[in-house]
Every structure is written in structure tokens, then in C-alpha cells.
Amino acid sequence: MTDKTQSIHGQWSSRFAFILAATGSAVGLGNIWKFPYITGENGGGAFVLVYLMCVAALGIPIMIAEIMMGRRGRQSPINTMQTLAEESKADPRWHYLGWSGMIAGFLILAYYSVIAGWAMAYIVKAFFGDFINSSPEEIQRLFQNLMDNPVQQIFWHTLFMYATMAFVMRGVQGGLEKAVRFLMPALFVILILLVAYAMTTGAYEQGVTFLFNPDFSKIDGDAVLTAMGHAFFTLSLGMGAIMVYGSYLPAHISIAKTTFFIAGADTVVALLAGIAIFPLVFANQLEASAGPGLIFQTLPLAFGHMAGGWLFGILFFVLLFFAALSSSISLIEPAVAWLVENKDIERHQACAWSGAACWLLGVGVVFSFNIWSDLKLFDKNLFELLDYLTANLMLPLGGMAIAIFAGWMMKSSLAQQELEIPEQGFQAWHFLIKYVSPTAVFLVFLHVLGVL
């Protein structure tokens, strides 16, 4: 169906374009919204340390594997897995891995879009000066009002979903490739600025200590699982997003170097967000464990009191919106690519159908913050359930399967040929992907199940 040198969906124009897109996928709400709030919920330093270890031992080798497999297969993850399994004479059922990834991306986008909608709502609030000189109580009330208002949340969720599908429709070289080029560095600069403000709050040291001073008595098996799941989530791994991006990667571009850059940038952004937020939490006697509302209840305080805060507040939420957008397109791209390959429909139809279905599930997520907040399964509302199912279960299991496939099923000569890295580097990667990554994920699951 495809030749081996290019995907039918197109190709990145350069290595730089791929780096932008993949970094755009990795850096998103996961870094700025999710990392701080789950760190706060799980006691800080020890959780951060486990997360960093997972990025190094699991994230980097598995990202290399995903990109490599995508480039070799050159199709949507489902069909890529099928082709690679045939090539390596592995069980054809490996293509179910592509299916589980496609479903995971779909489930994540449903809630991702709702949260990105909050960021959009906050652009407007920032613009109308709602944060200026506000007290912590007023800022909290502002957030609570949004939570209690399903209509407003659905409005923004709809707009975000529409924006996502509009970009996906234009294919891999659409406008976002150009936009991300400016937006990523700008986001970085604003984060540095927020860190500088955090230094003036008087609780900077307390915040940094909270983040980097590990106290292992504060974490249990479930916290370790959350940290591991987040390493996958924040790097967009375990569901085929990076695989499908890899499938648009021209031949002879160094996958390993690119991976180090992406993982490094992603980690730095998350840590900066943490360093900006926790001093504000402690300086204002807020709860570190406030949950998904954490950044919306803290950062506006900084914007409301710092010089130039009106403008920076607007800029920050605009940039957060774009960071979310460059991530959300990678969540649905595997599904769209698959629909186009297998269902003989046009790209715009594939976008319309998948976008509409995802939107509907997102409406349920909006309700889980208000009218359905008491509707619980396993003690979790719909938002929490989707998040746990995807980030804590599907992504690590998907990542483990990818590691097993790359390490045990694929001929190592094929992998080596695709990766084009020096022998020693290849051996190191192969050892990690074959033994370390699958074992680590497996052990964490055994621990959570209470076996270990």
C-alpha cells in the first residue's frame, strides 16, 4: 500500500520540523497543568524523583523505539504494527497494540479538550482584568464559578475541539508547524518570568524544597504508578502518537539525538512550571493538593500582583492554549490516519467523525465537574476515571508492549539499520528496551497489585 520511503499522508519538511511537532506534542497541559497538580497531590520531592527516573529509564528508550517503529512502518500505528509484525514474522495480533493506542488517544483528548477550554476561558478573564489585585479567595471563587457552569465549559470545549480538528484536517505540514516555532520559545520565556516572580514571594525556598527534597514516606504504590504513567503522558508515549509522527519522518535523520532534545525540553518545562507554582501555593497558604484546579488558583495571583501582570496573564493563557493545541492534534492523528487508510474516506470526513465523537465524550467530562460530580465508579468521577485508565494503565501497558516488540520481536539488525547510531549506543538502547523498560513497568504493576 505504501512505499518504504514515505507515508501517504505526507512528510515533515525537515528534521527541525519534526522536532517542533514532536516537542509540540510532548509539551502541553501535561507539563504545566498536570505535573504540578499531581506533584502536589503526591507529596512533592519523592514523586518528582520517581517521575524523573521513569523519564530516563523508560521514556527515552521507548520514545526512540516508537519513532523508529513508526518510520519503518510508515502508516497509522495499527497498520504499522501489522506491517512490522509481518516483517518480523511475529504474531499478527500485535496490531491490537495500535488499536489500544488509538482508543487511548481518543479518551485522553476528550478530557484534554475540556481542560484546554479552561485555559481559553482564562484568556478572557485575564483580558478583562479579573485577576488584578485579587485575593486568593477571589481567585478561588473565579475558578469555582467556571466549574459550576457547564454551559460555559462546553462552549470553550467545543471551540477547542473545533480548532484541533481544523489543524488536523490540514495535514502534517499545516500552519501549526510554523506557529509552534515562535510559541514554544515564548512559553519558555514566560515561565522564566513566573519563576522570577516566585522568587519574590518569600516562599521560594519552601516551594523548591517541596519539589526537590524527596521524602519517600509520602509515596505509596499508587503514587509510583502515577509518576510512571505521567512519564508516558508527558512525553506522548505508549499510544502511537509519536509513532505516527515518526512515520512522517524523512529517512536518515538521527532519532536518538532528536529524542534527547524532546525529552530534555519537556522535562525542563515541567520543572519550571513546578518552580513557578509551589512558592505561590505556600506564600498564599493554599493547598498543594488542590487537584486539577491548582494552576488556575495560583498563577492568576501572580498575574494579579506583578508588574505588567495584565499583559503577561493574557500571554500566558494564550501560549498555554497553543501548547495544548499542538499536543491535542497528536492525540487524534493516529485515528484520522487509520480512518483514511482503511475506510476509504477523505481526511476532512475522518476529522469530522472522530472529532464529533470525542466532543460528545468531553461533554460528559464537563458534567463530571458539576452535575455528575457524584456519579462515581471505583470512587472516581468520569474525568478521574478516564485519566486513570489512560495515563496510569493504558499508556504504561502500551509502552511496555512497544518495548517488548522493539526488543524481542523485531530483528535487531532492522532496528540498528533504522536507528543508524554507533554500535555502543545501539547496544545500550537495546539493553534498556529489551530488559530494563519492560521489567520496570511490570514491577510497578506488581507493586500496585500488592504482589510485591
Cβ within 8 Å of residue 8, ≥6 positions away? 1, 2, 75, 340, 341
CB of 435 to ligand TRP, least distance (A): 24
Question: Which position's Cβ is nearest ligand TRP?
Answer: 30
Which residue from 11, 140, 153, 330 is in contact with ligand TRP, where contact means CB under 6 A?
330
379: alpha, beta or left? (left if phi > 0; alpha if psi -120 to 50): left
Q: Is residue 108 within the footprint of ligand TRP (CB under 6 A)?
A: yes
| For ligand TRP, the closer CB: 28 or 293 | 28
Told to check if 228 binds ligand TRP by CB under 6 A, we report: no
Please report how close the Cβ of residue 126 comes to ligand TRP at its closest, in angstroms. 21
Contact pick of 241, 277, 365, 404 for ligand TRP (by CB under 6 A): 241
User: Looking at 231-239, 250-258, 292-300, 379-387, which segment touches ligand TRP (CB under 6 A)?
Assistant: 231-239
Residues binding ligand TRP: what is the number (CB under 6 A)?
Answer: 17
Q: Which of 239, 299, 315, 320 binds ligand TRP (CB under 6 A)?
A: 239
Q: How far is the CB of 333 from ligand TRP (least distance, A)?
A: 9
Q: What is the crossing angle of helices 347-367 and 309-342, to 10°?
A: 130
| Alpha helices in 88-174, H assignment, sequence order | 96-127, 136-147, 150-169
| 377-396 positions binding ligand TRP, by CB under 6 A | 395
Residue pointed to by grid coordinates 511496555:
400
Q: Which of residues 257-316 bind ligand TRP (CB under 6 A)?
A: none
Of the candidate residues 7, 11, 23, 31, the single one contacting ligand TRP (CB under 6 A): 31
Q: How far is the CB of 218 from ligand TRP (least distance, A)?
A: 24
Per CB under 6 A, 70 contacts ligand TRP: no
Q: How far is the CB of 237 from ligand TRP (least distance, A)?
A: 6
Distance CA 313, CA 139 (A): 13
Cell of 124: 478572557
Separation CA 170–CA 276 (nearest Å): 35
The nearest distance, CB 104 to ligand TRP, in angstroms, is: 7
Output the nine-digit C-alpha cell for 344. Answer: 476509504
Interface with ligand TRP includes 234 (CB under 6 A)? yes
The answer to whether residues 91 and 73 touch, using CB atoms and an 8 Å cutoff, is no
Under the binding rule (CB under 6 A), the answer on residue 327 touching ligand TRP is yes
Binding mask 184-223 for ligand TRP (x = CB under 6 A): ----------------------------------------
Q: Does 97 bind ligand TRP (CB under 6 A)?
A: no
CB atoms under 10 Å from CB of 153, counted, come to 24
Q: Which long-range contacts (CB under 8 A, 24 or more apart) does 185-191 make?
A: 186/315, 186/319, 187/27, 187/269, 187/319, 187/320, 187/322, 187/323, 188/269, 188/272, 190/312, 190/315, 190/316, 190/319, 191/32, 191/269, 191/272, 191/273, 191/276
By C-beta, is 44 or 59 nearer to ligand TRP? 59
Half-sphere exposure of 434 (CA within 13 A, CB side): 13
Answer yes or no whether residue 42 interacts with ligand TRP by CB under 6 A.
no
Contact residues: ligand TRP, CB under 6 A: 25-26, 28-31, 105, 108, 233-234, 236, 239, 241, 327, 330-331, 395
